[in-house]
Amino acid sequence: MTRNVGIAGFGTIGAVVAKRLAEGLPGLTLAAISSGRREVAEKRAHELGLSVPIVSPIELASRCDIIVECAPTAAFLSIAEPALTAGRTLVTVSGAAILEHPEIVDKARAGNGQIVLATGALLGLDAVRAAAEGNIHSVRMVTRKPPKSLRTAKHVVENSISLDNLAEPLLLFRGSAREGARAFPSNVNVAAALGLAGIGADRTELEIWADPTRTRNCHRIDVDADSARFGLEIENIPTDENPGTGRITALSMIAALRGLAAPLRVGT
């Protein structure tokens, strides 16, 4: 059985996912795209050789079995609610939006839908989820990104923090993953995912650094549990179009889609 896939948000991530779907993922077909910038989306679709309709989020939910949500954080609810109410599967990387709108899980339950949080930008979440079945004592995450990856972050802009000409790493935030997700909603979705997978966003400790010595978006997590103690580190290569987003993010969504249709799925 082939399932129809719709993409909501046709920017850096959405275009990569659409192109891979068009090239062929077993059991899946690209059926429609939704974007807040219709003319831009039509132009990009034409450049990629895609012949699919550009529709509203509500129509996307009526046409498609699976909705890939990769739109700006502010648009999350307008995409997620109709999809989940219609009983669709929502694949997203917006961990911060899920923390901000926890009622969306109830929407999924009531509509017999499902939310799949793709987390390839942060490794080791299978181990964190397993440890959470026992007792986790502490979870700590340290994010270090080159200044260009954080210049447009909500916290940086609102506090008029200059990241130009940094000579040494600058600590921008220290607190809980929930607080960090609110301050950096488009930059640390991985921290929100870590909180959701483990002991909760309020108990997950987070630091965010603007680090001029780094050229990649780096995340380090340390977990201490009654079943295991482990530390994991990943260095994500930023995309050219949006330095705050790593190249692996779109690939994470593609892997999640492949897992939905595959006869064998390894891990999440």
Q: What local confidence, expressed as pLDDT, does residue 256 receive?
A: 92
DSSP letter for each residue of 220-259: EEEEEESS-EEEEEEEEPBPSS-TTSBHHHHHHHHHHHHH
The domain that contains 103 carries what CATH number?
3.40.50.720
> Tens digits of per-residue pLDDT, 160-170?
999 998 999 99
Burial class (CB in 10 A: 0-12, 13-18, 19+), 267: exposed
- Do 201 and 254 belong together in one domain? no
Q: What local confidence, expressed as pLDDT, does residue 188 receive?
A: 83
Q: Which residues are annotated as a binding site for NAD(+)?
A: 121, 189
Give the pTM: 0.91
Verify whether residue 46 is a known catalytic residue: no
- Report if residue 268 sits inside a domain: no
* Cα 170 from chain centroid (whole Å): 25
- Report if residue 216 sits inside a domain: yes
The label of the residue with tokens 């046409």 reads 63
- Do 109 and 158 belong together in one domain? no
Query: What residue type is 180 in one-letter code?
Result: G
- Do 143 and 106 belong together in one domain? no
Look up the domain containing 167 and give its range: 125-236
Confidence of residue 72 (pLDDT cuts 50, 70, 90): confident
**Spatial CB neighbours of 81, under 8 Å, sequence gap ≥ 6:** 104, 107
More confident residue, 73 or 62: 62
**108: pLDDT strictly greater than 90:** yes
Q: Which residues are annotated as a binding site?
A: 121, 189
More confident residue, 187 or 48: 48
Query: What residue type is 226 in one-letter code?
Result: D
Domain count, the chain: 2
Q: Phi then psi for 67, rounded to 5 degrees?
A: -115, 125
- Do 228 and 140 belong together in one domain? yes
Which residue among the candidates 101, 137, 155, 219 is catalytic per the annotation? Answer: 219
